[in-house]
Amino acid sequence: MKKYIALFLAAVILLPILASCGRKKLDEPIEFIIANDIHYISPSLLGDENSDLDGVQYSRDGKIVHYISEITDAFINEIIEKKPKALILAGDLTLSGARLSHEELVGKLKSVKDAGIDVLIIPGNHDVDKTAVDYSGEKPQEAEALDSDGFIELYAQLMPDGIDCDPSSQSFIYKAAEKLWILMLDTNIYGQCYAKDLTLDWVEEKLKAAQADKIDVITVSHQNIYAHSELLSFGYQLYNADKLISLYEKYGVVCNLSGHIHLQSIVDNKSVPEIATSSLAITGTHYGMISYDGRELAYRAESLNVSAYANKMGFDNADLLDFSKYATSFFEEIASKQAAESLAGSGISEENIAIMAETYAKINSAYFEGKPIDKSEYSAGLEQWELYIEESFIAKYIMSMLKNPDGGGLEITIKID
């Protein structure tokens, strides 16, 4: 009897150990890079630095449009140096969908493909069926745009062989390894901010097959499946996100990767985590490094080193040679100007407006970069903003940012069951 009890106890002890060993760890992790919201525009569609860019250069979200060609070149150089398995671009490849901008970007990305790195692309809401703009003249004019069919045709030359495509959209499955798929979900071809019913049927079919064969699936979408900001959700979160979340939970999706909102933000308190990598065109110039080893997925946000590239190329532009500082200053200048304009005519003293504007700019910059926010550093400005909480959107927005003082998140490790 003692012999059987001993055997039983040994089995109980070994069960969790055997269960944890059921998943095979890869000899070498598979690495990917994801970038979002490049908003590339051909330099020939921009005027010189003294031109009126009609709100593009000094856009509300601080995109560094006037250096986007250099940012893109620096990024491609860094990708080729790191040599991941694949580069994932999750939409908003261009500023306004101009055909020329798309064609130039494809030309640049060919060097990534030629380096043996697979390129995985889905469109964003800025990429197809938009009114494209040429800012090179005295006044903005309409440029030739790229429609949905044109997008599919143009980017087909970058796509890897053997992908499994959805017949009703630009969605596809990329088989990264024997037991790992990446599902690129198109929510912008022939419609925006939702996955069509036919595409949802296709997604479920693929997820069911993956689950049956014990294949891990990472999903990618341009828009978010969760609300990453309590004030910025409509138009950012997919309109039928609930259906996708239900499917992803049912079939055990590892995580969803997205962008669109330009925030560096991680939602990790759900059964299917979501990682939103911020825009490559704003302060932080983030892209995401992803490593998968069969047992866990690790993500960390990296800042593109534009300055190193500028030095390598022998540039003499001071902005590019100290780009991290310039990018933050530019972003904060835009935010400060917005805040000051919103307070004009309020009766607040110029001194207090300056304090409030700087407070907003600094907090907003940290928020977009996913960094912690120390409220004690901004007490004077916050006291002033709190007086206008009922009448000012910016005041409400500041308070919403402060609800997550630890930052949106720059890294996460996801254990895979």
Q: How many domains in the chain? A: 2
Buried b (16+ CB within 10 A) or exposed e, 327-336: bbebbbebbb
- List phi, psi (to 5°) of 295: -115, -25
User: Are residues 289 and 335 located together in one domain of the fold?
Assistant: no
Taking the complete model, does pTM exceed 0.85, yes or no?
A: yes
Contacts of residue 95, defined as CB under 8 A and 6 or more positions apart, other chains included, come to 39, 40, 41, 56, 63, 65, 68, 101, 126, 133
213 CB-contact burial (10 Å; exposed 0-12 / middle 13-18 / buried 19+): exposed
398 CB-contact burial (10 Å; exposed 0-12 / middle 13-18 / buried 19+): buried
The token pair that represents 337 in the structure block: 């100007």
- pLDDT of the residue at 14: 41
Contacts of residue 232, defined as CB under 8 A and 6 or more positions apart, other chains included, come to 261
Q: What is the dihedral of CA 316, 317, 323, 326, to 10 degrees?
A: 150
Q: What is the CATH number of the domain that holds 296?
A: 3.60.21.10
Share of the chain above pLDDT 90, in %: 83
User: Are residues 223 and 342 located together in one domain of the fold?
Assistant: no
User: Are residues 355 and 273 located together in one domain of the fold?
Assistant: no
Residue-wise pLDDT tens digits, 99-114? 999 999 999 999 999 9
- List phi, psi (to 5°) of 384: -70, -45
Report the alpha-carbon distance of residue 238 to residue 28 in Å, rounded: 35
DSSP conformation class of 375: G
Residue at 50 is within a domain: yes
User: Are residues 82 and 171 located together in one domain of the fold?
Assistant: yes
Residues 231-258 have a mean pLDDT of 96
Residue at 19 is within a domain: no
pLDDT for residue 411 is more than 90: yes
User: Are residues 231 and 336 located together in one domain of the fold?
Assistant: no
Residue at 3 is within a domain: no
pLDDT for residue 56 is more than 90: no
pLDDT for residue 2 is more than 50: no
User: Are residues 142 and 234 located together in one domain of the fold?
Assistant: yes
CA atoms within 13 A on the CB side of 394: 25
Contact 102, 132 (CB under 8 A): no
Q: What confidence tier does 233 reach under pLDDT thresholds 50, 70, 90?
A: confident
- pLDDT of the residue at 351: 96
CB neighbours (10 Å) of residue 376?
6
- pLDDT of the residue at 3: 42
- List phi, psi (to 5°) of 256: -115, 135
Which secondary-structure segment (H or E) carries 286?
Answer: strand 286-292
- End-to-end Cα spacing for the chain: 36
pLDDT for residue 361 is more than 60: yes
147 CB-contact burial (10 Å; exposed 0-12 / middle 13-18 / buried 19+): middle
Interior angle at CA 208, CA 267 and CA 216, nearest 5: 50
**Element counts in the chain: helices (H) and strands (E):** 12, 15
Which residues does residue 173 pair with via DSSP β-bridges, in sequence order?
164, 183
Q: What confidence tier does 16 reach under pLDDT thresholds 50, 70, 90?
A: very low
Strands (E) in 23-100, as ranges, are 30-35, 86-90
Report the alpha-carbon distance of residue 166 to residue 99 in Å, rounded: 24
User: Are residues 207 and 269 located together in one domain of the fold?
Assistant: yes
User: Are residues 93 and 231 located together in one domain of the fold?
Assistant: yes
Residues 74-103 have a mean pLDDT of 97
Residues 209-228 have a mean pLDDT of 97
pLDDT for residue 238 is more than 70: yes
Which secondary-structure segment (H or E) carries 119?
Answer: strand 118-122
Report the alpha-carbon distance of residue 283 to residue 274 in Å, rounded: 21
pLDDT for residue 17 is more than 80: no
Residue at 231 is within a domain: yes
Residues 223-229 have a mean pLDDT of 96
Q: What confidence tier does 60 reach under pLDDT thresholds 50, 70, 90?
A: low
User: Are residues 169 and 54 located together in one domain of the fold?
Assistant: yes
In this structure, the strands spanning 255-258 and 216-221 are parallel
Q: What is the CATH number of the domain that holds 352?
A: 1.10.246.180
DSSP conformation class of 416: -
3-state secondary structure of 170: coil
User: Are residues 293 and 357 located together in one domain of the fold?
Assistant: no
Q: Containing domain of residue 214, as a range?
A: 30-309+410-415
Which residues does residue 413 pair with via DSSP β-bridges, in sequence order?
298
Q: What confidence tier does 59 reach under pLDDT thresholds 50, 70, 90?
A: low
The DSSP result for 207-272, as a single string, is HHHHHHTT-EEEEEESSBSS-SSSSS-BTTB-TTHHHHHHHHHHTT--EEEE-SS---EEE-SSSS
